[in-house]
Copies of this chain bind each other. A is one copy, B any other.
Amino acid sequence: MNSVALKKNHKALRAEMCAMGENARKAAAQLRLSAADTKNKALDAAAAAIRLHEKEILSANACDMEAAASRGLSAAMLDRLKLNGKRIEAMARGLEDIATLADPVGREVARWTRPNGLDIARVTTPIGVIGMIYESRPNVTADAGALCVKAGNAVILRGGSESMHSSRVLCAALVAGLEEAGIPPDAVQLVPTTDRAAVGMMLEGLGGTVDMIIPRGGKSLVARVQEEARVPVLAHLEGICHSYVHAEADLTKARAIVVNAKMRRTGICGATETLLIDRDVVRTHLVPILDGLTATGCEIRGDKEVVNAYPAAKLATEDDWHTEYLDSIISVRIVDGVEDAVHHISTYGSQHTECIVTEDDKAAEKFMDELDSAIVMYNASTQFADGGEFGMGAEIGLGTGKLHARGPVGVEQLTTFKYLVRGSGQTRP
């Protein structure tokens, strides 16, 4: 297509996207005032619709899978894209679980009276319209849609293009649920095109209708959000997570934690990408831990000292310390104590999740105190960086920014608040 035609198309796309925003805003104004029961009814009805339309979902997903395979997607990406009966049932149950969560809206989180008699209450409220940009994972369509509705927000979903057919059917099930409960169907909308220009329009805020963008993804999305976002962003971006084996680490614990932190699931943002080992325990701990990793199929990329001590390792480059592999690869570096570990993590990390393995409480507290990451752990796998594991129920992901919410983002984090001030005629002196 020549550039004039493309521009013309983008004008039409912009009009369509802004209309979606306008419709979302209208829906949000109604949804905001909906009772908890109404929202929960919509989620239960959506779960039923997902079960009812299992065949359609499977056939749409088959269509996505075929196209994705022909485009040469990696096995890991294909696995995330794939749906089956079990996964569809899990999505439906996920919506029902969200329905059972306490309503996050209208909660009085604080209330006090001033000496002049003014009664001040801080009450949770929905945010409004949320734009959600995410990977080719159909289950996120269901989860994110449901979490936003539960928190009283309208949402515009933009999943990865490979999942378009699956997401469309799943979104229709969510909308069927909304309609059954009498909530405006525009409360959950799916961007109907795979044109990447739509992402840019969402980042611009769709003509002032979007209150917040949640971008979920890796390096290329990071850069785009940084450059193009014109509305508040609750970033769910890179997780370059570290596990640090301290001089006082128990070897059995360290080996179990590191192998789990890296290899339990390599594709999640809380997976460890870099292992730091204290020089004091290189002779005792390095080989057993790296053996544990290679035994589960992990590639090791180490600094010079690591490669000397463990010849099966490849030599890491500077890039490796900056890389979120999301794969069976780990970078390994020798460090000199807590300070040096903190320095490496502060230099190369993404402030997501880090862990120290040690039997020395003081070292652990120093590590946890000095690091400025959303989650800092002590003797536990970084793969616990998850809303469910934190006991917060379902999550939309893990926030990597500093404002509003860090760490797991669930229904509570998808709300804001207002102050209600009740007086009896007070004027300010």
Contacts and interface: CB of A to CB of B under 8 A. Distances in A.
Secondary structure class of chain A's binding surface, majority of residues: mixed
Contact of A416 (B226, B380, B402): B402
B377 A211 contact: no
A72 interface: no
B416 A406 contact: yes
A383 B204 CA distance: 34
Contact of A377 (B227, B417, B423): B423
B232 A389 contact: no
A419 B370 contact: no
Given A33-B369, A374-B418, A230 B227 contact: yes
A330 B426 CA distance: 20
Given A376-B420, A380-B421, 8 more contacts: A232-B233, A260-B427, A375-B419, A378-B420, A379-B423, A379-B425, A381-B428, A403-B404
Interface in A361-397: 364, 368-370, 372-381, 383-384, 389-391
Nearest to A369: B33
A127 interface: yes
Contact of A403 (B114, B232, B424, B426): B232
Given A370-B33, A372-B418, A422-B378, A127 B403 contact: yes
Interface residues of A, number: 67
A304 interface: no
A229 B376 CA distance: 30
Interface stretch (A53-61, A134-142, A249-257): A249-257
A169 interface: no
Contact of A375 (B211, B346, B384, B421): B421
Q: With a 10 A CB-CB cut-off, give which of A212, A261, A370, A377 has the most chain B CB atoms.
A: A377
Contacts of A384: 118, 421, 423, 426, 428
A150 interface: no
Contacts of A425: 250, 252-253, 256-257, 379-380
